[in-house]
């Protein structure tokens, strides 16, 4: 006989961001606990609202499964004497394991026969096991900022106010945080009153629904999505659904009701980001657009206070009042900011600290201008593009001193673009100011213009090099300056833009920008070495995400990463070439040359020392192939180069068939090894094929 199990942890309102991770943890921990304690069960469901975290398990067996154990004892020759009588070793082993000596069994382990005690432990009632395990299960949940309350040692996301724990229709009397579990719960804070009785675990969801609580997260999310779309459509618009906002709203309501509010059309004269940010970030409203994508003077809010018209009208009026005040402030800030040009704010950046040891934002601007000039030159920017880049670099951080950005920091860059457009800066400069912050998060858009790409790379490189120079590096989950994100941004910009840049050169130029102003803890050589590995790790993940096999990635990264776009092209070429029949020839040629020559230091080849046709032919073939393959490499045609190099297989095979490499004559031996090393090194300039993993080999 199996029974359903229910545990509900009633808490004070949880922050929205706590709920989903808590439910994920609870699901995983519950499954593990049941498995470890041999409790058979059906589907595990975790759900919750701001006021409760719940796990529901179908068909939990009423008893643990029995445990059968084989305990290995002494060897038979030790356990029994020559007459077959048990020794003290056998008697002691049997007694310690609770079995009779006659119950010991014999089994061979390799060539030796041992005695074993077969122990069978009967399963305990599931109710007893669960009652013992649940407190530890609850205590095993971790939160970003747990708290204590009262005089308890218990720590949890928020104070626990009630516990409901049922096994079938029986209460499991768990004691935790000064509470004893029972069959009582509570419904919606405003739409339901008093305690609710849950008679049997399986009744829980209907009881909660009747008390205006939708405990299943996915159900609430789907209802909210449907409601906000319908409400916006009734106003002649379409809602702009932000999935992050949708998840947040889902986790702050128990019984959602969507409603539409409005604001003064005059506010639409401001940049739409100035309207959307307070709506979305501060008030958790969904913006509404018309069929052409233009922002309407409407918003959709999600209420947790009932669906009767009177309540909706009151809530709508309250939301409109709050938004009106925020937009009024934003409009005032916007108008005030327009009175001062971005160029006139640059001097004020001398009073804004970039990083305690790295100086002011003004000093950063000067460094970025110089670094951006180098990058622009390397990318072949024209005079106009270089001028736009320099101007954008000079103005890029000025919006940090504006009122709107002070109020809404997430609008930095966006507001710089908007102010620049209205202060007679060119569209190219204005766009570069915005693009230099891109990408801001995983999956964000990338800069599309050359000035934007240059400025973004320069700004991010300056930050990364400065932090590494001070010894500030990401460790584990700690990355306070978002250096990983910025490095990934640089990689994505270069790869998507197919930009040809030397990573070492821009790192060196960035380091030079700090010379004489900042006392670095690490030398340029140390910073360059650390950052090469740092970028290699970022590229490895990126290349695998883009579809390259892991060993292809390892092979091309081992050949060097200074030119990131070149590294990506080499990876694509090798991955494609691996399906070509000629790849086996290439791998064979490399492996045979590499294995013998990997310990050789010199690669100077003296043709005069050749004394066989095979080595002369190999040398001549390599000379010819290296010329043609080098031309393809210079043209970044790595697939062609690999095909050409694969032609070396036959002369390599002939060489190993006809020539004894490790002869006694040191000069001849070293000359042959040097030839093999030149071949292996040439191939390794594209990819280190020793990293390639061949299945079943």
Q: What is the pLDDT of residues 418-452, one digit of tens each?
A: 999 999 999 999 999 999 999 998 889 999 999 99
- Given a contact cutoff of 8 angstroms between Cβ atoms, the answer to whether 522 and 530 are in contact is yes
Whether 273 and 303 share a structural domain: yes
Judgement on whether residues 442 and 506 belong to the same structural domain of the protein: yes
Q: What is the pLDDT of residues 226-273, one digit of tens each?
A: 999 999 999 899 998 899 999 999 999 999 999 999 999 999 999 999
Q: Is the pLDDT of residue 697 over 70?
A: no
**DSSP secondary structure letters along 484-530:** HHHHHHHHHHHHHHT----HHHHHHHHHHHTTTTS--SS-HHHHHHH
Rounded CA-CA distance 289/238 in Å is 5
HSE of 354 in the Cβ direction (CA atoms, 13 Å)? 24
Which of 530, 546, 562 is where one domain is finished? 546
H or E element in which residue 561 lies: none
Backbone angles phi, psi at 37, to 5 degrees: -105, 15
The stretch 153-181 carries a mean pLDDT of 94
Q: Are residues 108 and 155 in the same domain?
A: no
pLDDT-derived band at 641 (thresholds 50, 70, 90) equals very high
How much is the pLDDT for 670?
Answer: 87
Q: Distance (Å, rounded) from C-alpha 90 to C-alpha 71?
A: 13
Please tell me the predicted confidence (pLDDT) of residue 186: 96
Tell me if 372 is assigned to some domain: yes
How many CB atoms within 10 Å of residue 614?
17
Name the E strands within 589-656. none
Q: Are residues 541 and 685 both part of a single domain?
A: no
Q: How far is CA 58 from the centre of its chain?
A: 33
Give Cα 200 distance to the centre of its chain.
41
pLDDT tens readout for residues 470-515: 999 998 878 889 999 999 999 999 999 999 999 999 999 999 999 9
Kindly report the three-state secondary structure assignment for every residue of 283-322.
CCCEEEECCCCCEEEEEEEEECCCCCHHHHHHHHHHHHHH
Predicted pLDDT at 342? 96
| Domain of residue 91, residue span | 68-120
- For 616, counting Cβ atoms within 10 Å of its Cβ (0-12 exposed, 13-18 middle, 19+ buried), the class is middle
Q: Residue 696's pLDDT is what?
A: 61
Q: What are phi and psi of 682, to 5 degrees?
A: -65, -45
Place of tokens 């050169």: 505
CA 646 to chain centroid = 39
Query: Please, is 341 exposed, middle or buried when counting C-beta atoms within 10 Å of its C-beta (0-12, 13-18, 19+)?
Result: middle
Residues 174 and 100 in one domain: no
Crossing angle of helices 414-422 and 427-435, rounded to 10°: 170
Residues 279 and 321 occupy one common structural domain = yes
Query: By three-state DSSP, how is residue 62 classified?
Result: coil
Q: Is residue 276 part of a domain?
A: yes
Instruction: Confirm whether 400 is domain-assigned.
Output: yes
pTM, 2 dp: 0.82
CB atoms < 10 A from the CB of 458, how many? 29
Compute the distance between CA of residue 255 and CA of residue 232 in angstroms, rounded to an integer.
19
Please tell me whether residue 273 adopts helix, strand or coil conformation. Answer: helix
Predicted pLDDT at 96: 87
- Residue 594: the pLDDT is 87
Please indicate, yes or no, if residue 287 is contained in any of the structural domains: yes
Looking at the fold, whether 386 and 535 belong to one and the same domain comes out as: yes
Same domain, 394 and 463: yes
Choose the final residue of a domain: 291, 310, 338: 338
Residue 148, classed as helix, strand or coil, is coil
Let me know whether 349 and 464 are in one domain: yes
Which DSSP helix (H) or strand (E) runs through 500? Answer: none
Peptide bond into 415 cis (omega under 30): no
> Using CB atoms within 10 A of its CB, is residue 76 exposed (0-12), middle (13-18) or buried (19+)?
middle
Residue 564 lies in a domain: no
Residue 683, token pair as written in the block: 């191939």
Helices and strands counted in the chain (H then E)? 26, 18
| φ/ψ of residue 306, rounded to 5 | 105, 160
**Does residue 560 lie in a domain region?**
no
pLDDT at 597: 80
The CATH number that applies at residue 597 is 1.10.730
pLDDT of residue 463: 97
pLDDT in tens, 642-668: 999 999 889 988 988 888 888 888 888
- Give residue 254's pLDDT: 96
Mark whether 324 and 385 lie in a shared domain.
no
Dihedral (Cα; 500, 504, 509, 512), 10-degree rounding: 180
* 152 found inside a domain: yes
Task: Work out how many domains the chain is built from and give that number.
Answer: 5
435 and 470 share one domain: yes
Q: Is 636 among the domain residues? A: yes
- Say yes or no: 148 and 279 in one domain: no
- 210, 243, 278: which is the final residue of a domain? 210
């Amino acid at each position: 006989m199996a029974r359903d199990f229910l545990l509900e942890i009633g808490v004070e309102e949880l922050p929205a961001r706590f709920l989903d991770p808590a439910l994920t943890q609870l699901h995983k921990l519950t499954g593990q606990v049941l498995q470890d304690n041999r409790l058979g069960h059906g589907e595990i469901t975790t759900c919750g609202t701001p006021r409760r975290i719940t796990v529901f398990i179908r068909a939990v067996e009423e008893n643990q499964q029995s445990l059968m154990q084989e305990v290995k004892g002494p060897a038979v020759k030790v356990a029994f004497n020559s007459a077959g009588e048990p020794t003290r070793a056998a008697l002691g082993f049997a007694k310690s394991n609770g079995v009779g000596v006659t119950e010991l069994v014999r089994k061979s382990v390799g060539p030796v026969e041992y005695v074993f005690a077969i122990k069978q432990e009967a399963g305990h009632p599931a109710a007893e096991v669960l009652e013992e395990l649940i407190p530890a299960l609850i205590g095993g949940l971790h939160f970003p900022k747990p708290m204590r309350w009262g005089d308890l040692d218990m720590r949890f996301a928020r104070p626990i106010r009630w516990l409901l724990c049922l096994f079938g229709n029986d209460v499991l009397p768990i004691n935790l945080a000064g509470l004893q579990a029972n069959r009582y719960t509570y419904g919606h804070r405003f739409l339901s009153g008093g305690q609710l009785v849950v008679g049997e675990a399986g009744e829980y969801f209907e009881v909660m629904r009747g008390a205006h609580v939708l405990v299943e997260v996915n159900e609430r999310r789907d209802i909210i999505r449907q409601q906000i779309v319908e409400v916006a459509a009734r106003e002649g618009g379409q809602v702009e659904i932000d999935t992050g906002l949708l998840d947040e709203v889902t986790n702050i309501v128990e019984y959602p009701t969507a409603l539409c509010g409005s604001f003064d059309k005059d506010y639409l004269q401001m940049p739409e980001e100035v309207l959307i940010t307070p709506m979305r970030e501060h008030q958790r409203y969904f913006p509404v657009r018309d069929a052409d994508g233009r922002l309407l003077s409407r918003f959709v809010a999600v209420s947790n206070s009932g669906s009767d018209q009177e309540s909706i009208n009151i809530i709508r009026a309250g939301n409109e009042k709050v938004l009106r005040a925020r937009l009024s402030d934003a409009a005032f800030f916007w108008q005030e900011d327009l009175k001062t040009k971005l160029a006139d704010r640059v001097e004020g950046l001398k009073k804004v600290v970039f990083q305690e040891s790295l100086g002011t934002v003004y000093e950063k601007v000067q460094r970025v201008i110089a670094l951006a000039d180098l990058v622009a030159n390397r990318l072949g920017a024209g005079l106009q593009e270089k001028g736009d880049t320099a101007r954008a670099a000079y103005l890029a951080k000025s919006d940090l001193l504006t009122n709107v950005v002070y109020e809404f920091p997430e609008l930095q860059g966006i507001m710089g673009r908007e102010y620049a457009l209205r202060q007679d800066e060119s569209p190219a400069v204005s766009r570069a100011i915005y693009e230099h912050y891109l990408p801001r998060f995983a999956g964000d858009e990338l800069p599309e213009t050359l000035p934007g790409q240059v400025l973004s790379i320069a700004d991010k490189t300056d930050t990364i090099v400065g932090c590494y120079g001070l010894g500030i590096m990401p460790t584990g989950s700690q990355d306070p300056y978002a250096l990983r994100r910025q490095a990934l941004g640089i990689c994505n910009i270069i790869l998507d833009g197919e930009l040809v840049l030397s990573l070492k050169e821009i790192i060196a130029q960035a380091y030079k920008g700090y010379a004489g102003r900042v006392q670095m803890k690490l030398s340029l050589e140390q910073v360059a070495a650390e950052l090469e590995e740092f970028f290699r790790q970022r590229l490895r993940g990126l290349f695998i995400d883009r579809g390259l096999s892991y060993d292809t990635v390892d092979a091309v990264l081992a050949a060097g990463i200074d030119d990131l776009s070149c590294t990506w092209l080499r990876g694509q070429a090798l991955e494609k070439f691996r399906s070509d029949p000629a790849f086996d020839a290439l791998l064979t040629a490399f492996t045979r040359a590499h294995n013998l020559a990997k310990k050789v230091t010199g690669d100077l080849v003296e043709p005069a020392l050749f004394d066989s046709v095979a080595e002369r032919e190999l040398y001549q073939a390599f000379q010819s192939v290296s010329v043609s393959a080098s031309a393809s490499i210079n043209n970044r045609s790595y697939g062609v180069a690999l095909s050409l190099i694969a032609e070396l297989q036959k002369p390599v095979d002939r060489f190993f068939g006809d020539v004894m490499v490790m002869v006694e004559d040191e000069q001849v031996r070293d000359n042959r090894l040097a030839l093999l090393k030149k071949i292996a090194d040439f191939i390794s300039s594209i990819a280190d094929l020793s990293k390639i993993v061949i299945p079943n080999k």
